[in-house]
Structure 1
Amino acid sequence: MEENQVSENEKDLSNKEVISSLKKKNWKSYFKEFFMLFLAISLGFFVENQREAYVENKSAKVLAQSMLEDLEQDKKALHEGIRFMEEKDQNMDKFLRMLHAPGADWDTVAFYKSMTMVFSTFPFSPTDGTYSQMKSSGTLRYFDQRLVNQMNAYDNQLKKTVFRDELVEKAEWELVPLAATLINFEVTGELRFNKPITKETYIKIRDEDTLDLFINKVVTVRTMMGRSLQEYKVLLLLNGDLIQELKDEYRLNYADNP
């Protein structure tokens, strides 16, 4: 009886050892499977991230090239706009000096040519299609934040420049009603399109108050244009910096416009 009990105890002990051993093996097996699964998932995430990073980098380079071309177009337009406004400012200075001289010394044709110049504008239209597309599609995230900040700063200055242009145009339109009472606008139209003068040229400034009002409105146009010229120059500096950053960051080549 005692031998049977001892035998049973030994069996129980043996079974416990077997079960314990199996548990250890199962735990190691589970851990191994878990580790392999974790490794596979991590590797999958890594590969996917690398693939997305590659696609984003390729897309960013394409977008950078497109934006570079837009910026080069802006650069050309800004240079032309600055030349136009500096020349216009010089002509307006001559016009104002003539207005301050005795009326008997005025050259009627020169007066009309000056008025034609006052109403001449430079139609700056920014080329911002690529930036607008990136902003609306969320692809700005493909770029380094420092570069994005530069793009945003350029866009903000561009909006200020366009706004200043609108103010100049508004000042010119406010001068129109008064100018229409003083001169023949058909003549200025012929001069503007380089046609020979076929209409009657006259100047109807008969009192000092009208002359002072006219001078003040011309000065207003010139002052607003001077502020606009400053915005153009700031935008041109930002344009150059952004062009250089894009070229350096993505090793882009694009012939600079003269």
Structure 2
Amino acid sequence: MSENQASDIKNEGSPFKKKRNFNSYFKEFFMLFLAIILGFFVENQRETYVERQSAKVLAQSMIEDLEQDKKALEEAIQFIEAKDQKIDQLIEMLRSPSSSWDTLAIYENMTLVFSTFPFSPTDGTYSQMKSSGTLRYFDQELVNRMNAYDNQLKKTLFRDEVVELAEWELVPLAATLINFEVTGELRFGKAATKDMYLKIRDQDDLDLFINKITVVRTMSGRSLQEYKAQLTLAIELIQSLNER
């Protein structure tokens, strides 16, 4: 064996050589570890950015939905309040002596009794966020407000159904007492051309008629309360989304 070969074998087995190899391996491992951590950090930052941008788009879309709801609710509230006044006038008229009845006014008010202005919500954005899980992009307080609005919406729509049911329960009785052809003409702003008869035979017929009209009025009043509560939540939620 040559002197150089012997020297190489000696160096390979030396503690200095082993330490140098260990340092080299450790340095490579450390650099790899840093690269992985940096990769996770960059990916996390990218996901955070995407979520923030998506949240902005979703918030704006929901604001637009809520603005449409707000307008629809304001119109529905105005309609129900006007309807309540007309029903009040109708009940007062029916309770007065029949000799003083204004038949045309009775028909006009009855037409309004059967008219509805149901609130149709624009909830596409919220439904999308709920189904896709993107509600997590928003803080919990804001999500709670969104959920509260949705829960109130269920109550509001239920009340609309109750009002419609009360109106339908009035129809069979009203059909025996008044001429629906006339109410149909008046509903579309036409002049009444058909016979405006009132077939109220006795006090029992009249009391039942007034009672069922009053039920419609009562249910409409409860629906009005839900509309106002819905409107308040819509305004508050719009403000919260604008401030986020």
TM-score of the superposed pair, with normalisation by structure 2: 0.92
Q: Does 1:22 align with 2:12?
A: no
Q: Between the two proteins, what is the percent identity of the paired residues?
A: 73
- Equivalent position of 1:157 in the other structure: 152
What are structure 1's unaligned runs of at least 5 residues?
Answer: 1-14, 250-258
Q: How does 1:167-246 map to 2 (within 5 A)?
A: 167-246=162-241
Q: Does 1:44 align with 2:52?
A: no
Question: How far, CA to CA, are the matches of 2:14 and 2:94 in structure 1?
Answer: 112
Q: CA RMSD in A?
A: 1.9
Match of 2:123 among 96, 106, 128: 128
- Equivalent position of 1:119 in the other structure: 114
Q: How does 1:89-108 map to 2 (within 5 A)?
A: 89-108=84-103
3-state DSSP of counterpart to 1:148: helix
Q: Aligned letter for 2:138?
A: F
- Equivalent position of 2:142 in the other structure: 147
Question: How far, CA to CA, are the matches of 2:17 and 2:209 in structure 1?
Answer: 104
Question: How far, CA to CA, are the matches of 1:152 and 1:206 in structure 2?
Answer: 52
3-state DSSP of counterpart to 1:205: coil
Q: Aligned letter for 2:119?
A: F
3-state DSSP of counterpart to 1:188: helix
- Equivalent position of 2:4 in the other structure: none
Q: Aligned letter for 2:149?
A: Y
3-state DSSP of counterpart to 2:141: helix
Q: Aligned letter for 1:51?
A: R
Deviates more, 1:153-162 or 1:29-38: 29-38
Q: Aligned letter for 1:56?
A: E
- Equivalent position of 2:242 in the other structure: 247
Question: How far, CA to CA, are the matches of 2:17 and 2:155 in structure 1?
Answer: 77
- Equivalent position of 1:77 in the other structure: 72
3-state DSSP of counterpart to 2:131: helix
- Equivalent position of 2:3 in the other structure: none
Which has the larger Rg? Answer: 1
Match of 1:53 among 48, 69, 72: 48
Q: How far off its partner does 1:16 sit?
A: 11
Q: Aligned letter for 1:182?
A: L
Aligned length: 237
Q: How far off its partner does 1:191 sit?
A: 0.7
Q: How far off its partner does 1:30 sit?
A: 2.8
Question: How far, CA to CA, are the matches of 1:129 and 1:25 in structure 2?
Answer: 65
Question: How far, CA to CA, are the matches of 1:50 and 1:198 in structure 2?
Answer: 73
- Equivalent position of 1:63 in the other structure: 58
Per-residue CA deviation, residues 159-179 of structure 1 (Å, 9 max, x unaligned), is 211111111011000000000
Per-residue CA deviation, residues 97-155 of structure 1 (Å, 9 max, x unaligned), is 11221222211111111110100100321111111112222222222222111111111
Question: How far, CA to CA, are the matches of 1:18 and 1:141 in structure 2?
Answer: 59
Q: Aligned letter for 2:114?
A: F
Q: Do 2:152 and 2:230's aligned partners in 1 also have CA atoms closer than 8 Å?
A: yes
Q: How far off its partner does 1:33 sit?
A: 2.1
